[in-house]
């Protein structure tokens, strides 16, 4: 298979997600939180993370234009599906699978700030700081990773591999040789 080298095991992810949930619980104690998941990559991380957060949580999703089958960002971000609810006066925590160039999250933060939330923070599972094109820094981060294309635990390549329970490095040559849908 094209994604064979395990970068982060199920166990490592589980224990780090629990730590993130504890920090978030501590930081938002006594407040209600609106968790905004960025579709689709964050869905597994978000599902695990919210179950470790012990403050009242409301969940909403946003979908943005993404790489499609490619592994390089076009630099253009568009909203494909907006939030269902207003966030004015709310404590908003954006949850994303990975920050790479930073273009997506810089855009999301810009858009949500205009809606005047009480507070706005971002939690990412993975950070690839070596490829950053903006000054974006996440408030909560699971793991800093090297410049490799990773899949699993919600992250995909051409829609595949999201269901892997661990996070693996995609070996592109092998993946292409599979005759997949890219
Ligand atoms: P930017 O570059 O805007 O990108 O920070 C964030 C989005 O790019 C996708 N991305 C990846 N997806 N493996 C993936 O499956 C990766 O290694 C990877 N790097 C970036 C991801 O969709 C994220 O939301
Ligand atoms: Mg994504």
Please determine, for the modelled complex, whether the ipTM score is greater than 0.90: yes
Q: What pLDDT is attached to residue 75? A: 63
Catalytic: 100?
yes
Give me the domains of the chain, ranges plus CATH numbers. 5-177 (3.40.50.2020)
Q: What pLDDT is attached to residue 36? A: 98
Q: What pLDDT is attached to residue 181? A: 33
Nearest to 159 by CA among 176, 182, 179: 182
Q: Exposed, middle or buried, 5 (CB in 10 Å: 0-12/13-18/19+)?
A: exposed
Whether 153 lines ligand 1, by a CB cut-off of 6 Å, is no
- Predicted TM-score (pTM) of the model is 0.91
Mind giving me the DSSP string for 33-96? EEEEEEETTTHHHHHHHHTT--S-EEEEEEEE---TT-SS--S---EEE--SS--TTSEEEEEE
Q: What pLDDT is attached to residue 178? A: 42
Q: What pLDDT is attached to residue 180? A: 35
Q: What pLDDT is attached to residue 82? A: 97
Whether 62 lines ligand 1, by a CB cut-off of 6 Å, is no
pLDDT in tens, the chain (182 residues): 576 899 999 999 999 999 999 999 999 999 999 999 999 999 999 999 999 999 999 999 999 986 544 555 556 788 999 999 999 999 999 999 999 999 999 999 999 999 999 999 999 999 999 999 999 999 999 999 999 999 999 999 999 999 999 999 998 765 554 433 33
Catalytic residue among 97, 100, 127, 156: 100
Helix (H) or strand (E) holding 108: helix 103-113
Best mutation site among 43, 65, 67, 143 for ligand 1 pocket (most ligand atoms within 8 Å of CB): 67
């Amino acid at each position: 298979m094209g994604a064979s080298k395990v970068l982060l095991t199920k166990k490592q992810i589980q224990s780090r997600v629990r730590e993130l949930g504890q920090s978030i619980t501590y930081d938002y104690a006594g407040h209600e939180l609106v968790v905004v998941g960025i579709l689709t990559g964050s869905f597994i991380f978000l599902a695990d993370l919210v179950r470790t957060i012990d403050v009242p949580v409301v969940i909403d999703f946003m979908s943005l234009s993404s790489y499609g089958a490619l592994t390089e960002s076009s630099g253009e971000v568009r909203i494909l599906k907006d939030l269902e609810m207003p966030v004015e006066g709310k404590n908003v925590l954006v949850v994303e699978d990975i920050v790479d160039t930073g273009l997506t999250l810089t855009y999301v933060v810009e858009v949500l700030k205009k809606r005047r939330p009480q507070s706005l923070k971002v939690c990412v599972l993975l950070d690839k700081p070596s490829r950053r094109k903006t000054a974006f820094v996440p408030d909560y981060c699971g793991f800093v990773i090297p410049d490799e294309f990773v899949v699993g635990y919600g992250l995909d390549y051409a829609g595949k591999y999201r269901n892997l329970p661990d996070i693996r490095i995609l070996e592109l040559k092998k993946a292409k040789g599979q005759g997949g849908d890219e």
